[in-house]
Amino acid sequence: MSPQEKHPFIVWVDEVEGELGWTDNKWTTKANISASVLNNARNKGIIPKWEACVALATAANRSPITAFRKAGLLPSGPDDNINFTDWEHLLAQMTPMKQKK
């Protein structure tokens, strides 16, 4: 990967932040992790590991599996955009009443 190319994890971070209107600082604060996690990923290429990915995904209401894939901790799925795991995660966050609608 050339220096001009962004790591897939950083591309995902940028997409999520754009959708939510968040900054790195806001996201890491909501995830209760050090701001250096995303700073190191952006500036030093040190991509977060399991625990930080879970914290970031949970804070943004995203599937941890997607975060793991983007970070390179799991192999890519058949469709890295939205897959069953993402839907399953979102459904688990809903109340039974909202699931019926």
pLDDT band at 15 (very low <50, low <70, confident <90, very high): very high
Task: State the pTM of this model.
Answer: 0.75
> Band of the pLDDT at 18, cuts 50, 70, 90?
very high
In a domain, 3, yes or no: no
Which amino acid is it at 78?
P
DSSP letter, residue 7: P
User: Residue 41's domain is classified under what CATH number?
Assistant: 1.10.260
Residue 1 in domain: no
Dist. CA 101–CA 11, nearest whole Å: 33
Domain count, the chain: 1
Q: Which residues contact 40 (CB under 8 A, 6 or more apart)?
A: 46
| Residues 31-86 pLDDT 10s | 999 999 999 999 999 999 999 999 999 999 998 999 999 999 988 766 555 566 66
Question: How confident is the model over 20-31, as pLDDT tens digits?
Answer: 999 999 999 999
